[in-house]
Structure 1
Amino acid sequence: MDFTFSDDQLAFREAVSRFLMTEAAPEMLREIWETDVGRSPDLRHKIAEQGLTALSVPESCGGLGMDDVAWSLMTQELGYYAIPDSLADTAYVAAGLIAALPERLPSREEWLRRITDGSIRIAVGHPVNPLVADAHPADLLLLAHGDEVHAVPRALADVIANPSIDCSRRLGRVVWEPNTATLVAAGEAGRALWAATLERGVLSVSGQLLGLAQRMLDLSVDYTAQRKQFGKPIGSFQAVKHHLADVATRIEFAKPVLYRAAHAVARGDADASVRVSHAKLACGEAAWLAGRHGIQVHGAMGYTWEVDLQMFMKRAWALDASWGDRGFHKARVAGFVLGDAAALGPGRTFGE
């Protein structure tokens, strides 16, 4: 078995990272935050030019046709640079849902092509999320009514804004009326679509949490190398080293969990849901520890607006409860581990 990423996947991630390093510096993000809409059409257009919006779109609709494993790398970059835009909701979560719709649906190909060129913003209102991210600036909302999937134009929905601890997140409660004109899937097909959408949504925030954890660790390492006490950088003190080493270890332990979950979703494995929940818990723990220890090594000034650490820390706090809180995912893992049919043990790692 080959568990490594392909050269194309790694090269694309490197290209996206170099692009975001230039176009999404913290000072630029602060400027975007302070606008009324909190979004930058120019930044989104540049991201589309890099091909990120086309990643999940089938090649028949002008996309790159890459799978969930590729997104496990890309979402880490979106988290690492704290992109103030629910880009993954459109380019990954919504694209996956729309691509799974019947090809005979009149608007399916148009939506996918518009995702590819970055000309549409889609908000996903999954039942697990009481609030919808980026509902207000969205052009199209994918909303649930029981097992039904509805594609609702923004003009047919009212959005009541809801503040978030993360200034870059634009959350809203959507008020709308389902009708036959907006219905795109129902019954068993609708249930399957929402189930698959949940797994992709969880994978998306898991990757972002891991990227956030790495950024908070890097910021903390940089700070401890510059801040001096008793004539020495505080990073030379053993207690500080232990804090940062704990975070680095937690991040490295979470990575294979995320990648295994993405692989399970890409293949449609029967145990994909529990692997996705495991990834959310592991990546969330890494982000929480990175934030907590980051504040400690910053001497608590990491909370303040002037320090970049707070930008990534607050995003991690907000995403931790998105697409299912810890209780939800712990229940899914426990249900599998404690079940009679759990295929656990060293002899079952790779199957027969």
Structure 2
Amino acid sequence: MFLAPDGDEIEIIDAAAGFLADVMPISRLHESGSADMNGTLRRQMGEMGWFALALEENKGGSGLTAVEHALFFREIGRLCGSLDVLSQALAVHVADGDLRARLISGDVGVALAVRDGGEFRLLGAPGAALALEVNETGAWLRDVSALAAETRSSLDPATSMRVSTAMPDAVLGQVDGPEVMQLARLGSAAMLIGLAEAALDLIVDYAKVRETFGRKIGAYQAVRHACADMALRAEAARCQLWFSAAAIKEGRGDAAIHLDAAKHLANQAAIANADANIQLHGGIGVTDEHDAHLLLKHAWFLAKVFGTKRALLGRLLDARVED
């Protein structure tokens, strides 16, 4: 793949898009209790093998690569897909034996544990029995089924949040090194790019039918130029995503640098496009019934995990890439 999917990769996109449109439509987020991934959906996704795309075949996975991982999570992002889909896909790389098999099948759920000062934020389904903590040095999987955690309101309707002052000491699975974080950053960047593309699609479709003063609003330069800017942001971020996925697949020494750039561009593209989508829709864009606010809230949320602006730019400041 060179900056664009082809062949079997397009088949994966089509299969994922069709499946997700049926089981995880964005319209679900207008209903109460629709955040996260419930047990039924988790098992459905497990049956399709989506959690183990980038896991080796001898470990029960599909034996594919970071490229396919990115392709799938781009489709997840288009529908404001739950973060715990990504947490589940990362956890299969941390667990072993029977636990790994149960994670692949979706029999047990995983939330993401994020350190916040002296607390831990658990992001994902409240019923998740396990929690995954990931950083640049490794990843740890813990049993949180008996953990006392306080439910907190979440900005993002697609993601539930709980807070705990401590985590269990016992570790059910652990891996050292940056590999899991790389898949986490790649997956979240892909979700953000899918979201940026969805925002562009929404306003382009609207601009073709909405009329003011007897003309479609897409005929006005103020709308056309803004849409062009949205398309450019999405394209730049998408190309960097494909390159970083290919760099991980090929084992390039500078893959982490390209991945940092991909996440930064994805953060920018998703937030800016989601905001422009609301502005260009006008009054209807700020209503609760419209999807526009869901995209913006999810974009801000995803931009805060696995690489924020300060951390990414701090590493890129002195980065050196290979020829």
TM-score normalized with structure 2 length: 0.89
**1:182 aligned onto 2:171:** yes
The aligned amino acid for 2:46 is A
Cα deviation, residue 178, structure 1: 4.8
Query: Which 10-residue stretch deviates more, 266-275 or 296-305?
Result: 266-275
Cα deviation, residue 147, structure 1: 6.7
SS in 1 for 2:44: helix
Cα deviation, residue 133, structure 1: 1.5
CA separation in 1, counterparts of 2:305 and 2:197? 19
**1:96 aligned onto 2:93:** yes
Cα deviation, residue 285, structure 1: 1.4
CA separation in 2, counterparts of 1:3 and 1:144? 28
Say if 1:73 and 1:207, in contact at 8 Å, map to a contact too.
yes
Cα deviation, residue 3, structure 1: 6.0
The one-character-per-residue Cα deviations of 1:258-303 (angstroms, maximum 9, x if unpaired) are: 1121223334433222211100111111112211221221115322
Q: Taking structure 1 as reference, are residues 327 and 278 closer, same or farther at Cα in structure 2, changes over 3 Å only?
A: same
CA separation in 1, counterparts of 2:152 and 2:158? 12
Say if 1:141 and 1:154, in contact at 8 Å, map to a contact too.
yes
Taking the TM superposition and a 5 Å limit, the aligned residue runs for 1:211-226 are: 211-226=194-209
* Among 329, 340, 345, the residue aligned to 2:312: 329
Cα deviation, residue 4, structure 1: 5.5
The aligned amino acid for 2:99 is W
Cα deviation, residue 144, structure 1: 7.0
The one-character-per-residue Cα deviations of 1:7-39 (angstroms, maximum 9, x if unpaired) are: 2222122111012223333333433xx128754
For 2:60, the equivalent position in structure 1 comes to: 62
Aligned length: 321
CA separation in 2, counterparts of 1:45 and 1:208? 21
**1:125 aligned onto 2:113:** yes
**1:165 aligned onto 2:143:** no
The aligned amino acid for 2:82 is P
For 1:259, the equivalent position in structure 2 comes to: 242
* Higher RCO, 1 vs 2 (CA within 8 Å, ≥6 residues apart): 2
Gaps of 5+ in 1: 99-107, 337-341
The one-character-per-residue Cα deviations of 1:127-159 (angstroms, maximum 9, x if unpaired) are: 589633226322212347997854321234332
CA separation in 2, counterparts of 1:28 and 1:149? 31
The aligned amino acid for 1:295 is I
CA separation in 1, counterparts of 2:103 and 2:66? 17
Q: Taking structure 1 as reference, are residues 58 and 250 closer, same or farther at Cα in structure 2, changes over 3 Å only?
A: same
**1:11 aligned onto 2:11:** yes
CA separation in 2, counterparts of 1:24 and 1:110? 28
* Among 315, 319, 337, the residue aligned to 2:302: 319
The one-character-per-residue Cα deviations of 1:20-73 (angstroms, maximum 9, x if unpaired) are: 223333333433xx1287543333333223321231333223321211111111
CA separation in 1, counterparts of 2:183 and 2:17? 22
For 1:109, the equivalent position in structure 2 comes to: 97
Query: Which 10-residue stretch deviates more, 15-24 or 70-79?
Result: 15-24
Taking the TM superposition and a 5 Å limit, the aligned residue runs for 1:183-262 are: 184-185=173-174, 190=176, 192=177, 195-262=178-245
The one-character-per-residue Cα deviations of 1:219-242 (angstroms, maximum 9, x if unpaired) are: 111111121101111011111011
CA separation in 1, counterparts of 2:268 and 2:251? 26
Q: Taking structure 1 as reference, are residues 109 and 224 closer, same or farther at Cα in structure 2, changes over 3 Å only?
A: same
The aligned amino acid for 2:171 is T
Say if 2:42 and 2:109, in contact at 8 Å, map to a contact too.
no
Q: Taking structure 1 as reference, are residues 115 and 183 closer, same or farther at Cα in structure 2, changes over 3 Å only?
A: closer
The one-character-per-residue Cα deviations of 1:147-200 (angstroms, maximum 9, x if unpaired) are: 785432123433232322111211223343554x43644xxx63x2xx322222
Cα deviation, residue 324, structure 1: 2.6
For 1:283, the equivalent position in structure 2 comes to: 266
CA separation in 1, counterparts of 2:73 and 2:208? 28
CA separation in 2, counterparts of 1:296 and 1:118? 39
Gaps of 5+ in 2: none
The aligned amino acid for 2:131 is L
Say if 2:36 and 2:124, in contact at 8 Å, map to a contact too.
no
RMSD over aligned Cα atoms: 2.7
Greater C-alpha Rg: 1
